[in-house]
């Protein structure tokens, strides 16, 4: 038998990363027992039910195939952490809300809690794998927590960094056919042995040349850098979208033209109302904070502009809506099409829809929101939560009355548009492309506006119906240009 054999894997954190990534490992490695653990009992209950706690194309098939065979979801951390030889930690690493580094630094409370749990129950040596996105050098801190808290001095911990690059909405295909799997470890004999063990797990389905092995700090930093560079592309094209509107250029044509340059490439050049999601902003702020803490203020300032440009883009969109509608939206019903941060997910973390709705509500609008995957309770929570409160297991539940009064969650797009002055497209759901806009037009207040924050609709067809159309980064409709 190979010395690399892993018999049991446990994962702390049954969220968007822990759930899907462990399900794929279980499916691909039927001889390894995989147990996903969480402190959130409701979440574990949902993972064990027919209605999984997250929506992700292809996820049900994978979970239903492996669950009960070699994939388990549990809250019994003591038993399963004690038995596992490899432990992934995939807990949330939110932005700090208070204290030193508030608003930028990563809050490692959950990570430290997980490390203390591992130390308390470990009676045999373990490989502990950082799956969460963490600041560079976290492995060093975690090693100290583990070794100083473990009751048995013979127990050894080897820490690996194995950041996750999946994107929501495509998680299962990203996990099944990853561009690369990155594993960082210590450059010592025991570190190299641990690297080989984890590589052995992935080698069940990932080709050898796609499994990269680096030192710990490179792996930790590569994750933050990948997200920073992806977000930077979006902020760059969004910056150009503003210039397009001012000059009559068309951002889709500009993106296409530059994307044909093989050095630039065509992906991630889609102008939008702004990037959202739980990772980009958090990880850039985290990167900025790491830079600052080692005295690299200029480097920090450089990356910070990516977030600042994203905030500008969301604000710019709100201002376009308000100025287009005769400088006021007070008392006007605005149909919001899409609340999730991207299509094919029900996730609303840091979705640009939150900032756009808040901006419109602040000007007195009434927002009617339709999203095929987002539950109304989630929308209300998001619109009333303080910044960064969402990324905590026992999150924010308070809803402010004035938000409840001005926001309506609607279960179909036609009722959402009826009686509205404008439709704002904030998520690129495919179903929005095939709707009967002529029917909607007839039910709306005139002039009826469409503000397409994703550039997914047929703008010429909408204009023919009679809509005044704003398309992000495209030549402005004369109606919207102030005389």
Site residues for ligand NAD per CB under 6 A: 12-18, 37-40, 43, 90-93, 110, 113-114, 117, 132-133, 164, 166, 168, 278-279, 393
Residue closer to ligand UPG, measured from CB, 66 or 175:
175
Q: Is 452 in the site for ligand UPG (CB under 6 A)?
A: no
Q: How far is the CB of 91 from ligand NAD (least distance, A)?
A: 4
Q: Which does 255 bind (CB under 5 to 8 A by kind): ligand NAD, ligand UPG, none?
A: none
158 φ, ψ to 5°? -115, 125
Coil, helix or strand at residue 43: helix
Q: How far is the CB of 298 from ligand UPG (least distance, A)?
A: 25
Q: Is 276 in the site for ligand UPG (CB under 6 A)?
A: yes
Q: Is 164 in the site for ligand UPG (CB under 6 A)?
A: yes
295 φ, ψ to 5°? 85, 15
Residues 167-186 binding ligand UPG (CB under 6 A) are 167-168
Q: Is 220 annotated as a binding residue?
A: no
Q: Is 272 in the site for ligand UPG (CB under 6 A)?
A: yes
Q: Is 270 in the site for ligand UPG (CB under 6 A)?
A: yes
Q: Which does 90 bind (CB under 5 to 8 A by kind): ligand NAD, ligand UPG, none?
A: ligand NAD
Whole-Å CA distances, 323 to 96, 308, 309, 326, 358: 35, 22, 20, 5, 16
Which helix (H) or strand (E) segment holds residue 461: the answer is: helix 459-465
Count of alpha carbons within 13 angstroms of residue 121, beta-carbon side: 17
Q: Is 281 annotated as a binding residue?
A: yes
Residue with tokens 């508030």: 102
Which helix (H) or strand (E) segment holds residue 212: the answer is: strand 211-215
Q: Which does 198 bind (CB under 5 to 8 A by kind): ligand NAD, ligand UPG, none?
A: none
Listed residue (470, 466, 417, 469) closest to 440, CA to CA = 417
Total site size for ligand UPG, rule CB under 6 A: 20
Q: Which does 227 bind (CB under 5 to 8 A by kind): ligand UPG, ligand NAD, none?
A: ligand UPG
Which residue number places its CB atom closest to ligand NAD?
15
Cβ-based burial of 459 (10 A; exposed 0-12, middle 13-18, buried ≥19): middle
Whole-Å CA distances, 319 to 181, 323, 327: 42, 6, 9
For ligand UPG, which residue of 6, 12, 23, 166 counts as binding (CB under 6 A)?
166
Whole-Å CA distances, 192 to 39, 183, 209, 222, 461: 32, 11, 18, 19, 60
- Residues 6+ away with beta carbon under 8 Å from 215: 184, 185, 186, 187
Beta bridge partners of 368: 335, 408
The stretch near ligand UPG (CB under 6 A) out of 136-144, 227-235, 360-368, 375-383 is 227-235
Q: Which does 406 bind (CB under 5 to 8 A by kind): ligand UPG, ligand NAD, none?
A: none
337 φ, ψ to 5°? -100, 105
259 φ, ψ to 5°? -70, -20
Mark 118-137 with x for binding to ligand UPG (rule: CB under 6 A) and - for no binding. Answer: ---------------x----
Q: Is 230 in the site for ligand UPG (CB under 6 A)?
A: yes
Q: Catalytic positions, please?
A: 279
Q: Which does 276 bind (CB under 5 to 8 A by kind): ligand NAD, ligand UPG, none?
A: ligand UPG
**Which residues are known binding-site members for NAD(+)?**
13-18, 38, 43, 91-95, 132-133, 168, 279-282, 349
- Residues in contact with ligand UPG by CB under 6 A are 133, 164-168, 227, 230, 234, 268-270, 272, 275-277, 279-280, 341-342
């Amino acid at each position: 038998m190979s010395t690399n054999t892993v018999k049991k894997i446990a994962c702390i954190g049954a969220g968007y990363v822990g759930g899907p990534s462990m399900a794929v490992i279980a499916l691909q490695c039927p001889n390894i027992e995989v147990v996903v653990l969480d402190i959130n009992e409701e979440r574990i209950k949902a993972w064990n039910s027919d209605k999984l706690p997250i929506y992700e194309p292809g996820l049900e098939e994978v979970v239903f195939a492996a669950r009960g065979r070699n994939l388990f979801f549990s809250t019994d951390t003591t038993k399963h952490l004690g038995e596992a030889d490899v432990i992934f930690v995939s807990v949330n690493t939110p932005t700090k809300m208070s204290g030193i580094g508030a608003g930028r630094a990563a809050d490692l409370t959950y990570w430290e809690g997980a490390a203390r749990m591992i130390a308390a129950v470990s009676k045999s040596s373990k490989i502990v794998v950082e799956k969460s996105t963490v600041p560079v050098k976290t492995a060093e801190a975690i090693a100290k927590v583990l070794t100083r808290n473990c009751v048995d001095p013979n127990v050894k911990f080897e820490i690996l960094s194995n950041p996750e690059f999946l994107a929501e909405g495509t998680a299962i295909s990203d996990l099944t056919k990853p561009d690369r799997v990155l594993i960082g470890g210590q450059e010592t004999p025991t570190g190299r042995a641990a690297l080989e063990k984890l590589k052995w797990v992935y080698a069940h389905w990932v080709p050898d040349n796609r499994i990269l092995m680096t030192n710990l700090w490179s792996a930790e930093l590569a994750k933050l850098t990948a997200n920073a560079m992806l977000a930077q592309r979006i902020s760059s094209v969004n910056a150009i979208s503003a210039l397009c509107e001012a000059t009559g250029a068309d951002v889709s044509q500009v993106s296409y033209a530059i994307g044909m340059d093989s050095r630039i490439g065509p992906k991630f050049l889609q102008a939008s109302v702004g990037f959202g999601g739980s990772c980009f902003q958090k990880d850039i702020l985290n990167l900025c904070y790491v830079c600052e803490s080692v005295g690299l203020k200029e480097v920090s300032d450089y990356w910070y502009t990516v977030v600042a440009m994203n905030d500008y883009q969301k604000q710019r969109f709100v201002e376009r809506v308000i100025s287009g509608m005769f400088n006021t939206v007070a008392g006007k019903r605005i149909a919001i099409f899409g609340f999730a941060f991207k299509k094919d997910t029900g996730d609303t973390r840091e979705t640009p829809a939150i900032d756009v709705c808040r901006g419109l509500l602040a000007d007195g609008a009434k927002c009617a929101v339709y999203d095929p995957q987002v539950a109304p309770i989630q929308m209300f929570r998001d619109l009333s939560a303080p910044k960064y409160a969402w990324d905590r297991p026992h999150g924010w539940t308070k809803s402010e009355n004035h938000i409840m009064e001005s926001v309506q969650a609607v279960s179909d797009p036609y009722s959402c548009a009826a009686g509205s002055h404008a439709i704002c497209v904030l998520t690129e759901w495919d179903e929005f492309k095939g709707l009967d806009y002529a029917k909607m037009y007839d039910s709306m207040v005139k002039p009826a506006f469409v503000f397409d924050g994703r550039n997914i609709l047929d703008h010429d067809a909408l204009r023919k119906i009679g809509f005044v159309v704003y398309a992000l980064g495209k030549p402005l409709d004369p109606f919207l240009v102030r005389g």
